[in-house]
Amino acid sequence: MATPNLTRYAWLSIAAALATIGMKTAAWWLTGSVGMLSDAAESIVNLVAAFTALWMLTLAAKPADEEHAYGYSKAEYFASGAEGALILVAALAIAWAAVQRLMQPRPLEALGFGLGVSVAASLVNFVVARLLFDAGKKHGSIALEADAQHLMTDVWTSGGVVAGVGLVALTGWHRLDPLVAIGVAINIVWSGVKLIRRSFRGLLDAAWVPAEQQLLREVLAKHAGPDVEFHAVRTRQAGARRFVSLHVLVPGQWDVARGHQLLEDIEREIRAAVPNVHVLTHLEPLEDPRSFEDEELDRPEA
């Protein structure tokens, strides 16, 4: 589950956005490049996205309460969805500005200094993006991963812009600047689409990823046998949290203490195999036909 400490990464992203906005605006002002103007505009989107991530991380860290018994961890999916939407908006803005410049090309100025400033801004974004990626993977935070993806999109955008401006300087063909900007816009659309799809998947209570499901199967296989069976095994994820519920079938003549000890062992081993997981088990007798009537999500009517 996201913790208050994760917000420091959001503040780092905010600081990076503020720094790069200033640097890229200076590069645009010096060169007059529409590509660099679009790049600076995307950094403004980065700033909005970073504040959104900060808000959602703060909300996701709130403890469970009576109205939200399973906590607020799904708030991170709203942050990643917003990041994806903002990436699409940035791509459209870049394409629009580039088309206008394509129709009315103009010479660029102070290319050397402008390119240097743009490259420096890209390095800032790259370093911060790598830090956010690592923190997102370590803590299972989709909000941090989405913010990192957004910053890496900015890095690719800046790379394309720098390449376009550099080609203009070498060839003197001013339409290369907006053409490269359009190409970059098309390329980053896919990043936004992937983030939005992943957010919807999380909000729809998607199952664990295959690697985590394999770890769960390995734990259950250790206990399965003639006297122990499992069914109705269901997994879902919500931000950094994982949830699993399962029915454990044992001989009816087992006493409560023995059955309870088995469930305690299974739950402990699942928590050890998959971090930050909530486990819910239900004990049933193997001999009772009713034990097999609730394998599906909804039990059939009597």
Domain 210-292, CATH among 3.40.50.300, 3.40.50.1370, 3.30.70.1350, 3.10.20.30: 3.30.70.1350
Name the phi and psi angles at 134, rounded to 5. Answer: -65, -45
- pLDDT confidence of residue 214: 95
Place of tokens 């009772």: 288
In contact, 238 and 1? CB cutoff 8 Å = no
Whether the model pTM is above 0.75: no
State the distance between the two ends of the chain, measured CA to CA, in whole angstroms: 39
Q: Which of 57, 199, 216 is nearest to 139 (CA)?
A: 57
Residues of each domain in the chain carrying CATH 3.30.70.1350 = 210-292
Residues of each domain in the chain carrying CATH 1.20.1510.10 = 4-203
pLDDT, tens only, 237-271: 876 778 999 999 999 999 999 999 999 999 999 99
Q: What angle do CA 172, 176, 181 make, to 5 degrees?
A: 145
pLDDT, tens only, 85-136: 877 887 787 777 778 767 766 655 555 666 777 788 888 989 998 999 888 8
For the domain 4-203, what is the CATH code? Answer: 1.20.1510.10
